[in-house]
Amino acid sequence: METTWTAGKMAPFRQGMQAGVAIAIGYMPIALTFGLLAKTTGLTFAETVLMSVIVFAGASQYIALSLLSVGTGIFEIIFTTFILNIRHFLMSASLNEKAEADVLWKKALYAFGITDETFSVAAMKEGTVNASYMFGLIMMAYGSWVINSGIGYAVGANLPESLQDSMSVALYAMFIGLLVPALKKQRKTVWLAGLAAVFNSFGTLVFHLSKGWSIVLATLLSAVVVEWLVKEGGNEDE
């Protein structure tokens, strides 16, 4: 297998860790708040940390808390989690196109760490990704998520309110930082991102789809439509 490390001679694991710093920063305010909310919802410290260790999915964990607080049944919470995470089918399948042929158990292991954020960073990396890179990337994201959940619970406090508010933009800014260089390079990506943004806005604001469905439908629809247009038009605009 040909390896294409573009960032000099840095080992893939370290390269992954470095790429994970932005995610670690972005997860901090969300995980701190999660820990705090878990406490007010009545979970114990052990349950809170266990949830971050085993589930590792921000939006699902928040929704589980709000459903618990209104007394929703456990089966329904699990089902809601599943619906919210259907989009990861698509992301995992997409990452597979870029993943080197590592042994299966390694792929099964790093698959655990696929989130919107780790997927986006890995997908925007030049060349292929291998298990070492993914382990480095995920270690940063997972570490930040689990540790800050615990701190949020134990300390029972957030960052100062104005900083907490400002940091709520962090992950979105990271997505923008990943996307913009691609937009400048290829006209096709402008259509992909733009159409998906429009579809998702309609999905959530007009059709009131749940966030999980709206993102997966908007992404798939945009990816299919653009691919079809490129094929039909024989467009060389790469």
Partner 1 sequence: MRMNNAIVWMIIGMGIVTYLPRMLPLVLLGRVELPPFWQGVLKNVPYAALGALIVPDIFFIQDDIFFGVIGFAAAVITAWFGANVIIVVLAAVAVLSCYSMLI
Hey, which residues between 86 and 115 contact partner 1 (CB under 8 A)?
A: 86-97, 99, 101, 104, 107-108, 111-114
Q: Is 6 in the site for partner 1 (CB under 8 A)?
A: no
Contact 178, 152 (CB under 8 A): no
Pick from 40, 69, 181, 207: which binds partner 1 (CB under 8 A)?
181
Of 46-65, binders to partner 1 (CB under 8 A) are 46-47, 50-51, 54-57, 60-61, 64
Residue 220: phi and psi, rounded to 5, are -65, -45
Q: Is 4 in the site for partner 1 (CB under 8 A)?
A: no
Rounded Cα distance between 87 and 98, Å, is 18
At residue 48's C-alpha, the angle toward residues 136 and 70, to 5°, is 130
> Per-residue x/- mask for partner 1, residues 140 to 179, rule CB under 8 A?
----------------------xx-xxxxxx-xxxxxxxx
Q: Which residue has the tokens 């990271």?
A: 174
Pick from 65, 141, 147, 195: which binds partner 1 (CB under 8 A)?
195
Contact 215, 87 (CB under 8 A): yes
Rounded Cα distance between 2 and 13, Å, is 17
* Nearest distance in Å: CB 9, partner 1: 19
